[in-house]
A and B are shown apart, each in its own frame.
Chain A
Amino acid sequence: MAILHIDDVSLIFPHARGGRGVVAIDRVSMTVPDQAFAVIVGPSGCGKTTLLRMAAGLERPTGGTLRLGDQCITGPGADRGMVFQSYTLFPWLTVRGNIEFGLRLAGVSTGERRDRCDYFLAEVGLGKFADAYPKQLSGGMMQRVAIARALVTDPKILLMDEPFGALDSQTRGLMQELLTKIWFDTHKQILFVTHDIDEAIFLGQRIHVMTARPGRIKEVVEVGFPYPRSLDTLTSPEFIAVRQRIHASIREEVLKAQQDDE
């Protein structure tokens, strides 16, 4: 069992001339239980992406620790798959080449590589595009490949940084449904970061609402809609109630941040 522990994590940027530093993330603690779908939602600039990048090992906190199971996170590794907001497929590799990239690094045999790649190609509905190059794919398709590429190496947790942020709203809706289906099928532990409240509620079981700078966890909202979720979820009265609550909560933060700026 691999629980993600984020324990009293802070990030303080030192002041240029030795004055008091800027606190970007202020003593955040949270856990993502095994097989859980957790979401962090917050206003832009609250440090949610940085927190996720720390979990990936791409950034270091100035205080506190992150652990996956009993393993301290000190750098990036294949046990934590990541999907980025920007398109990050390797353009010189085909869809299959991209998905198999991590398996090749791990020295997985050709036959097994093929089988595992085929399984996830089917899971994201791109079986026919195995030999296409990224430049031939739409944005939504590229992100589906990125998800398959992150899942194929069987990481303990999937870290997702606003992966649908650059997609048009129709595609985004379909991708969200697909992700709840993938999670339902695999029960792969997910930590998903977004500023989109609807997306957060639609996807997650536990929603961590963050404050504006300095970033803290303001509240945790449990959402109990059954998976895989669909369009009906979006229109249910419970959804609207939760949405209203988080909206108010984040609005307060945005207003506070604006006042601080003035």
Chain B
Amino acid sequence: MPKPELFTPKQGIPGGIYVAVGLVSAATGILVWCVLSYGGLVESYFLPTPTQVARAFVEMAGDGSLWRHVWASTSVVLTGFVLAGCIAVPLGILMGSFSIVAAAVEPVTNFIRYLPVSALVPLLILWVGIGLEQKVAVIFLGVVFNLTIMVADVSAGVSKALLEVGYTLGATRRQVVWKILAPATLPGVMDALRVNMGVAWTYVVVAELVAASEGLGFMILNAMRGLFTEVIFLGIVVIGLLGLITDQGLKWLRRGLLPWAS
């Protein structure tokens, strides 16, 4: 058997080696954590041991508080994300294919999308208060501009020839938009949704920065005040896992809904 080339650019490696390297890499991270924490090299209020984090999980899962936080955050993230999608997907499709829409929308989106959403939080509090709406608004604003621009890119990438075929088959402009442009963007739109779902999760802590009484962001911030570092760790791990689950879900949904896409 020839020796596999592991360090050639653009060259695949055997699947077994791929998995093994991934496991070793993850194990190294955990090992360093174990050595630093169990070895007492770092104080436990800076770096809790895996046991402490696991104990925090058992405790909070047992009394149900963890699930309450998970549900609170998930509903905020999903609501904000769905609202953003309802605006961004149609707007992006139009923006990418109608120059006149691009001309109208581009200056605004390109200005706002570089603003950190956290900078808008005080304004949001002023405008929509400190209730659930404010949290949803943070997620919404964090996603909507970026998603619009990504969908616009997808829409602009749809081959003009595809639309022209429609015209030569007798389609009207409206039919070309609905029956050709819209379905042609679907795979790209799904990909853009997936990327921005990840973005939405990264805003969960910012969203729960102010006047929250539940949610994973609140849980983390609250734990910091009491120096419950293991709870902070637990919150981070859970957010990561939820992100992973939604990502896989969207991936699965794309395969199921769009079997024709490559």
Instruction: Give me the interface of A with B, judged by CB distance under 8 Å.
Output: 56-58, 75-78, 80-82, 84, 86, 88, 90-93, 101-102, 105-106, 133-135, 149-150, 153, 159
Contact = CB atoms under 8 A, between A and B. Distances in A.
Interface string B249-262: 00000000011111
Chain A binding surface, main DSSP class? loop
- Pairs A-B, 4 closest by C-beta atoms: A78-B170, A102-B169, A76-B167, A82-B168
A78 B260 contact: no
A153 B170 CA distance: 9
Interface of B: 159, 161-162, 164-171, 175, 179-180, 183-184, 186, 258-262
Nearest to A136: B260
Contacts of B170: 77-78, 102, 105-106, 153
B164 A90 contact: no
Nearest to A161: B161
A183 B218 CA distance: 73
B259 A88 contact: no
Contacts of B171: 105
Given A84-B164, A88-B164, A92-B184, 4 more contacts: A75-B167, A77-B167, A92-B186, A102-B170
Contacts of B162: 88, 90
Contacts of B260: 91-93, 133-135
B159 A135 contact: no
A162 to B, nearest CB: 12
Contacts of A159: 168
Contact of B167 (A58, A92, A106, A153): A58
Contacts of B259: 133
Interface centre among A75, A105, A134, by most chain B C-beta atoms within 10 angstroms, is: A105
B183 A76 contact: no
B153 to A, nearest CB: 18
A106 B166 CA distance: 12
Contacts of B167: 57-58, 75-77
Chain B binding surface, main DSSP class? helix
B169 A149 contact: yes
A3 B36 CA distance: 86
Nearest to B168: A82
A84 B161 contact: yes
Contacts of A102: 169-170
B206 to A, nearest CB: 38
Given A78-B170, A84-B164, A106-B170, A92 B258 contact: yes
24 contacts: A56-B164, A57-B167, A57-B168, A58-B167, A76-B167, A82-B168, A84-B164, A86-B161, A88-B164, A90-B180, A91-B260, A91-B262, A93-B260, A101-B166, A101-B169, A101-B179, A105-B175, A133-B260, A134-B260, A135-B261, A149-B165, A150-B168, A153-B169, A153-B170
A150 B170 CA distance: 11
Given A91-B260, A133-B260, A76 B184 contact: no
A92 B168 contact: no
B183 A80 contact: no
Given A56-B168, A105-B170, A135-B260, A90 B183 contact: yes
Given A90-B183, A91-B260, A105-B175, A76 B168 contact: yes
Contacts of A80: 168
A88 B159 contact: yes
Contacts of A78: 168-170
Interface centre among B171, B175, B180, by most chain A C-beta atoms within 10 angstroms, is: B171
Contacts of B180: 90
A48 to B, nearest CB: 17
A86 B158 CA distance: 13
A105 B165 CA distance: 13
A91 B158 CA distance: 12
B261 A82 contact: no
